[in-house]
C-alpha cells in the first residue's frame, strides 16, 4: 500500500471512528464468549479425565450376596488377578449410615467406604488432604472435604456412625479426603467417609472390584462391552468354582465421571450459542463495511479515474478489515482467557473436581486468534470485491438507495390524523429491506433465546413442582432391617402431627445380562445408574405416576412389574409392556411380566415397582417393609423436622433399627442441585446475542443517518426543529425493536419446545413441560425499547445537529 492509500486509510478511520469502534466491540464481545467457552471446553476434559483417572477407578464391581472376612477377600482378589483380562482386583465394602456429630443427629446420611487395613490401595484411591493417614487407626475416620459443611463437622470432632444391623461406632474425624470419583456431597445431599475395616467388628467385605485391561495389554479398557464380558466371566467363575452367589455386577461408563456429561452438554450448548453470536457479529460487521463501501462509491470512482486499479483498492479495504479484526482479537484474548478459567472452575465444582491447571492448551488460543483474524475478512470478502471492481461510470451514476415508500406506507400517508413524523419514521425503517431484516433478525434472535431461556426456567420450576407433588409425603424413614408393615404403621401413627403412614420396601435389583448375571450401570456412589424395586402400598396413590405404556399394578398382583423409562432405556431398551424381563433380587433370578412403563425423571425416585405380594413371592420372604413415608398435618419445615425426630424415636422404641429419618426437603434439594445448570445454558447464549443485536441496531441507525444526510438538511431548511428530527430517529429505532419482538414470537415458541425436549431428556430423562414465561416477554419488550432508545441516541443527536451547509457539501 503506497503513501496515498495509507493516508486515505487513516482518514477513513478518523472520520468513521465510531463505526469502527462498534465493529470492534461487536466482534470482541462475541469472540470473548466463544473463546472463553472454547478454553473451558478444551480444559475440562483434561482436568476431569486426569482427576478421575488419578483415583484408578474400578472397571467393574462384583457385589456378593454375603460378605467375606478381609483375609478371605484378599485371597479371592489374588486369584481374580490371574483371570484373563483382569489387571487388578481388591475387596471393599460400603454402607449408608445415620450419623451424629458431637451428639447432634444429622438429617443427611453418611456413605462410608471401607477397605482392609493392608489394602495396597492400587485401585479406587483417594487423596488425603488434612492431617490424617491411611489406614486410619481403629476408632478414627476420614471425611470427604466437600462433606464437612454439609455435615457440620471439622477434623477432631467426634462422630457416632450407626452401620446397618450393627451397634453404633464412636469415631474421631482424623482428617479429610479428596475423592474426585464421586459427585459433590452438597449436590447429592449425602456425606462421604472412609474407614478401615479394623474399626468394624465383625469386619466383612462384600465387593470385589476389578480393573479390566484391553485385550493383550495392561492399560485399562474403555470399551464397556469388553468390561461386561470379562466381569461376566469372573462372576461365572465365582459362582462355579467358589460357590458364591452374585447379587449385582456394577459396570458404569468406563472412566467417566457420573456428572461429566452435564458439563459436556453445557459447554457444547454454550459453544453453539457463542458460535452463533460470533457468526452474527461478523455478518453485522460485513454489513457495516458494505454500507461504508457503498457510501464511498463516489470516492472509489474518483480513485479509479486518477489511476488506481481494483487490486490496490481491494488491498486498501482489506487492510481496513484486518485492522478491525486484529483490534477485536487483541481486545478479546484476555477476557476470553479469564472467562474460560472462571467457567472451568465453576463446572469442575459441579463435578467435585479441583483443577490442577486452569490454562487452556495452546491450540485453543490459536483457534481464537485464527477465528478472530480470519472470519471477518471472509464474511466481508464479497462486498469488498464488489466495491473494488465498480467502474468509473457506475460510480458516477451511483445515487444511493431509493427512498420510494412501499405501497402500504404510501396508502397510510393519505389518511388524515396520523402523525407525519411517525409515518416518516415508519417509511425510513423499511426503506433498506436488507438492512432492516438484518437488524430485526439479530434482535429477534436475542429475544427468542432470552424468552426461551426464561421459559425453560419455568419448565424446570414446573418439574420441581411436579416432583414435590409426587413426593406427597413429608418425612422419609429408612429401616436398617425389614419389619412387618403393620408394626411399623402402628408405631408411627401414635406420633403427634402424623396424618397418614405408608409402608414400602425398596430393594436393589439387577437386570439379567450376559451369562444370566445381574448387570447394572451403578457408579461407586451407588446412586447414579443403580436400579431398585419399590413395593407399592395397597390402595390408590395420592400422586400416581404418568403411564407411557401399559397399565399400573393391581392390588395383590404377583409376577408383574412396572418399569420407569429410565431403567428400561438403560438396561432393556427393546422391551415394553407385555414383554418379560429377568430380574435378580437378593442375588436370586426371577422372571417378571412388564405391566407398564411409567415416566420418571433423573433423581426422581424408584426405578421399578411391584406389589408387596409380588416381591414376597419372588424373593421367598414374607412381605416386610424397610421404608416409611409419613404425611404430616402441617407441611412446614419445622413440623417435618420435629415429626422426623419423633418418628425415629417411636420406631427405635418399637425395637426397629432406623437408618435415617429426615424431611423430604433434603431430597428436594438434591434434585434441585441436578437441575441448576439448565438455565445457564440459554442465558449464557442470550447475553452475547443481545449485545450484538444492540450494536447492530446502533450501526443500522448510524448508516441510515449517513444515507439521509441531505434529507435531514432539507428538513432543517424547511423549518424542522432539532427536537422533531430527534423524535423521528428515535421512533425508527423503537419501531425496529418492536419489529424484532414480533418476529421473535414463533422462534421463541419453537426454541422453547425443541430445547425443552432436548435438554429435558439430557438432564432429567424426560421432556420438560412446555411453559412460556409471560414475565420474560414483558421484560424483553421493555429492554428492547429502552435499548433501542439508548442505541439510537447518538444517531438521533447527530441527525438533529446536521446543518443545511453540511448536507449540501455531503458527498
State percent of the chain over pLDDT 70: 83
pLDDT higher than threshold 60 for residue 414: no
Average pLDDT of 425-433?
67
What pLDDT shows up at residue 79?
A: 93
Contacts of 788 (CB under 8 A, 6+ apart): 697, 730, 733, 734, 736, 737
Q: What is the pLDDT of residue 402?
A: 47
Q: Which residue has the higher pLDDT, 473 or 801?
A: 473
Is 397 a residue whose pLDDT tops 90? no
pLDDT value, residue 524: 78
Predicted confidence at residue 707, as pLDDT, reads 61
26: confidence class by pLDDT, cuts 50, 70, 90? confident
From 10-14, 308-312, 412-416, the region with the lowest mean pLDDT: 412-416
**pLDDT band, very low/low/confident/very high, at 621 (cuts 50, 70, 90):** confident
Give the whole-angstrom CA distance, residue 101 versus residue 103.
Answer: 5
Residue with grid cell 424483553, as numbered in its chain: 780
The pLDDT tens digits of the residues spanning 187-219 come to 777 889 999 998 888 889 999 999 998 877 778
Residue with cell 447527530: 798
Please give the average per-residue pLDDT across 265-275, as a whole number: 70
Give the lowest-confidence range in 143-157, 394-408, 556-570, 580-594.
394-408
Torsion angle in degrees (nearest 10) through CA of 354, 359, 362, 366: 120
259-263: list long-range contacts, CB under 8 Å, 24+ apart: 259/183, 259/187, 259/350, 259/351, 259/352, 260/48, 260/52, 260/351, 261/762, 262/350, 262/351, 262/677, 262/763, 263/44, 263/48, 263/347, 263/348, 263/350, 263/351
Instruction: Give the model's pLDDT for residue 485.
Output: 84
Cell numbers 462384583 correspond to: 62
For residue 73, pLDDT over 90 is answered with yes
Length of the chain: 811
Give the pLDDT confidence score for residue 72 in this predicted structure: 92
pTM above 0.85, yes or no: no
Which of 31-40, 158-167, 391-400, 782-791 comes out lowest in average pLDDT? 391-400
pLDDT reported for residue 329: 92
Q: What is the mean pLDDT of residues 68-77?
A: 92
Q: Over range 742-752, report the average pLDDT.
A: 87
Look at residue 406 and give its three-state secondary structure. coil
Confirm if 193 and 111 have CB atoms less than 8 A apart: yes
Q: Closest Cα partner for 269 from 454, 459, 33? A: 33
Mean pLDDT of 75-91: 92
Q: Is the model's pLDDT at 698 over the cut of 80? A: no
The DSSP output letter for 768 is: P
- 279's grid cell: 457468526
Q: What is the pLDDT of residues 471-505, one digit of tens each?
A: 788 888 888 788 888 888 888 888 888 888 888 88
Query: How far are the Cα atoms of 53, 69, 447, 729 from residue 142, in angstroms, in the given order?
Result: 21, 22, 51, 69
What are the helix and strand counts (H, E) for the chain?
A: 26, 22
Dihedral sign from CA coordinates of 492, 498, 503, 506: negative
- DSSP state, residue 587: T
Hey, which residues does 104 pair with through a beta bridge?
Answer: 101
Please state the rounded mean pLDDT for residues 396-415.
54
pLDDT digits (tens, 9 = 90+) for 779-791: 888 888 887 777 6
Q: Name the percent of the chain lying above pLDDT 90.
A: 11
Q: Give the confidence band of 606 by pLDDT, cuts at 50, 70, 90.
A: low
- Which residues share a beta bridge with 535? 505, 610
In this prediction, residues 50-73 reach a mean pLDDT of 89
Q: What is the mean pLDDT of residues 429-450?
A: 74
- Among 69-73, 127-131, 140-144, which is the least confidently predicted range? 127-131
Hey, is 160 helix, strand or coil?
Answer: strand
Mean pLDDT confidence for 705-710: 64
Task: Say yes or no to pLDDT of 266 above 80.
Answer: no
Average pLDDT, the chain: 80
Is the pLDDT confidence value at 344 over 60? yes
Quote the CA–CA distance of 79 and 25 in Å, as a whole number: 66
Of 471, 505, 469, give the one whose Cα is nearest residue 628: 505
Higher pLDDT, 527 or 230: 230
Q: Residues near 435 by Cβ (< 8 Å), separated by ≥ 6?
A: 287, 291, 700, 703, 704
User: Which of 226-230, 235-239, 694-698 shows the lowest per-residue confidence on average (mean pLDDT)?
Assistant: 694-698
- Give the 3-state secondary structure of 282-314: HHHHHHHHHHHHHHCHHHHHHHHHCCCCHHHHH
List pLDDT tens digits, range 517-533.
788 888 877 766 678 88
How much is the pLDDT for 113? 93
Q: Would you say residue 459 has pLDDT above 50?
A: yes
Please tell me which of 204-208, 310-314, 437-441, 718-722 the model is most confident about, judged by mean pLDDT.
204-208
Amino acid at each position: 500500500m503506497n503513501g496515498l492509500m495509507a493516508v486515505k486509510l487513516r482518514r477513513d478511520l478518523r472520520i468513521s471512528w465510531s463505526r469502527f469502534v462498534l465493529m470492534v466491540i461487536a466482534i470482541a464481545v462475541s469472540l470473548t464468549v466463544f473463546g472463553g467457552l472454547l478454553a473451558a471446553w478444551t480444559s475440562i476434559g483434561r482436568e476431569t479425565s486426569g482427576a478421575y483417572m488419578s483415583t484408578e477407578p474400578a472397571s467393574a464391581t462384583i457385589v456378593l450376596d454375603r460378605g467375606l472376612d478381609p483375609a478371605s477377600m484378599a485371597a479371592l482378589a489374588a486369584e481374580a488377578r490371574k483371570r484373563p483380562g483382569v489387571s487388578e482386583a481388591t475387596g471393599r465394602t460400603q454402607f449408608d449410615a445415620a450419623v451424629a456429630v458431637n451428639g447432634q443427629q444429622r438429617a443427611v446420611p453418611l456413605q462410608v467406604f471401607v477397605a482392609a487395613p493392608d489394602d495396597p490401595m492400587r485401585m479406587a484411591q483417594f487423596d488425603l488432604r488434612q492431617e490424617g493417614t491411611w489406614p486410619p487407626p481403629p476408632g478414627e475416620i476420614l471425611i470427604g472435604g466437600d462433606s464437612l459443611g454439609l455435615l457440620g463437622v471439622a477434623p477432631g470432632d467426634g462422630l457416632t456412625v450407626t452401620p446397618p444391623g450393627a451397634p453404633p461406632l464412636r469415631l474421631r474425624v482424623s482428617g479429610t479426603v479428596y475423592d474426585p470419583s464421586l459427585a459433590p456431597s452438597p449436590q447429592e445431599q449425602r456425606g462421604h467417609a472412609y474407614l478401615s475395616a479394623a474399626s468394624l467388628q465383625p469386619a466383612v467385605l462384600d465387593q470385589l472390584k476389578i480393573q479390566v485391561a484391553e485385550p493383550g495389554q495392561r492399560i485399562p479398557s474403555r470399551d464397556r462391552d469388553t468390561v461386561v464380558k470379562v466381569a461376566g466371566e469372573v462372576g461365572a467363575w465365582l459362582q462355579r468354582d467358589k460357590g458364591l452367589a452374585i447379587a449385582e455386577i456394577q459396570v458404569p461408563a468406563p472412566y467417566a465421571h457420573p456428572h461429566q456429561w452435564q458439563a459436556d452438554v453445557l459447554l457444547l450448548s454454550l459453544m453453539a450459542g457463542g458460535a452463533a453470536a460470533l457468526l452474527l457479529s461478523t455478518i453485522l460487521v460485513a454489513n457495516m463495511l458494505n454500507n461504508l463501501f457503498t457510501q464511498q462509491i463516489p470516492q472509489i470512482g474518483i480513485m479509479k479515474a486518477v489511476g488506481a486499479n481494483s487490486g490496490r483498492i481491494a488491498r486498501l479495504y482489506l487492510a481496513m478489515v484486518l485492522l478491525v479484526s486484529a483490534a477485536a482479537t487483541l481486545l478479546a484474548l484476555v477476557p476470553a482467557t479469564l472467562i474460560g478459567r472462571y467457567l472451568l472452575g465453576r463446572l469442575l465444582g459441579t463435578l467435585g473436581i479441583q483443577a490442577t491447571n486452569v490454562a487452556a492448551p495452546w491450540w485453543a488460543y490459536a483457534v481464537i486468534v485464527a477465528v478472530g483474524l480470519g472470519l471477518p475478512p471472509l464474511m466481508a470478502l464479497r462486498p469488498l470485491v464488489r466495491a473494488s471492481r465498480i467502474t468509473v461510470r457506475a460510480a458516477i451514476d451511483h445515487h444511493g438507495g431509493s427512498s420510494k415508500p412501499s405501497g402500504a406506507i404510501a396508502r397510510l400517508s393519505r389518511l388524515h390524523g396520523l402523525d407525519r413524523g411517525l409515518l416518516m419514521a415508519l417509511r425510513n425503517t423499511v426503506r433498506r429491506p436488507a438492512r432492516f431484516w438484518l437488524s430485526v433478525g439479530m434482535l429477534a434472535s436475542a429475544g427468542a433465546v432470552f424468552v426461551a431461556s426464561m421459559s425453560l426456567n419455568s419448565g424446570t420450576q414446573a418439574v420441581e413442582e411436579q416432583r414435590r407433588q409426587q413426593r406427597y409425603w413429608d418425612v422419609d424413614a429408612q429401616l436398617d432391617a425389614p419389619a412387618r408393615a403393620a408394626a411399623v404403621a402402628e408405631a408411627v401413627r401414635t406420633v403427634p402431627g402424623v396424618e397418614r403412614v405408608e409402608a414400602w420396601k425398596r430393594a436393589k435389583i439387577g437386570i439379567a445380562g450376559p451369562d444370566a448375571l445381574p448387570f447394572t450401570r451403578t457408579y461407586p456412589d451407588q446412586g447414579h445408574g443403580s436400579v431398585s424395586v419399590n413395593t407399592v402400598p395397597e390402595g390408590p396413590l395420592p400422586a400416581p405416576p404418568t403411564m407411557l405404556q401399559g397399565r399400573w399394578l393391581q392390588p395383590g398382583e404377583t409376577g408383574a412389574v412396572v418399569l420407569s423409562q429410565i431403567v428400561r432405556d438403560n438396561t432393556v431398551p427393546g422391551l415394553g409392556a407385555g414383554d418379560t424381563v429377568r430380574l435378580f433380587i437378593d442375588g436370586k433370578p426371577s422372571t417378571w411380566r412388564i405391566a407398564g412403563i411409567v415416566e420418571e425423571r433423573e433423581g426422581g425416585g424408584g426405578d421399578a415397582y411391584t406389589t408387596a405380594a409380588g416381591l414376597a413371592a419372588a424373593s421367598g420372604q414374607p412381605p416386610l417393609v424397610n421404608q416409611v413415608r409419613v404425611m404430616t398435618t402441617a407441611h412446614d419445615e419445622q413440623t417435618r423436622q420435629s415429626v422426623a425426630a419423633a418418628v425415629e424415636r417411636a420406631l427405635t422404641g418399637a425395637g426397629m433399627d432406623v437408618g435415617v429419618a429426615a424431611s423430604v426437603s433434603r431430597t428436594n434439594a438434591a434434585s434441585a442441585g441436578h437441575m441448576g445448570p439448565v438455565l445457564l445454558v440459554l442465558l449464557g447464549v442470550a447475553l452475547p446475542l443481545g449485545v450484538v443485536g444492540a450494536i447492530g441496531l446502533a450501526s443500522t441507525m448510524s448508516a441510515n443517518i449517513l444515507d439521509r444526510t441531505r434529507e435531514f438538511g432539507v428538513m432543517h431548511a424547511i423549518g424542522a426543529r432539532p427536537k422533531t428530527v430527534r423524535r423521528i430517529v428515535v421512533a425508527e429505532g423503537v419501531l425496529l425493536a418492536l419489529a424484532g419482538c414480533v418476529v421473535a414470537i414463533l422462534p421463541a415458541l419453537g426454541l422453547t419446545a425443541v430445547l425443552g425436549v432436548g435438554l429435558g431428556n439430557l438432564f432429567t430423562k424426560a421432556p420438560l413441560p412446555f411453559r412460556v414465561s409471560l414475565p420474560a416477554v414483558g421484560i424483553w419488550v421493555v429492554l428492547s425499547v429502552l435499548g433501542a432508545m439508548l442505541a439510537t441516541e447518538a444517531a438521533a443527536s447527530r441527525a438533529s445537529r446536521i446543518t443545511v451547509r453540511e448536507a449540501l457539501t455531503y458527498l
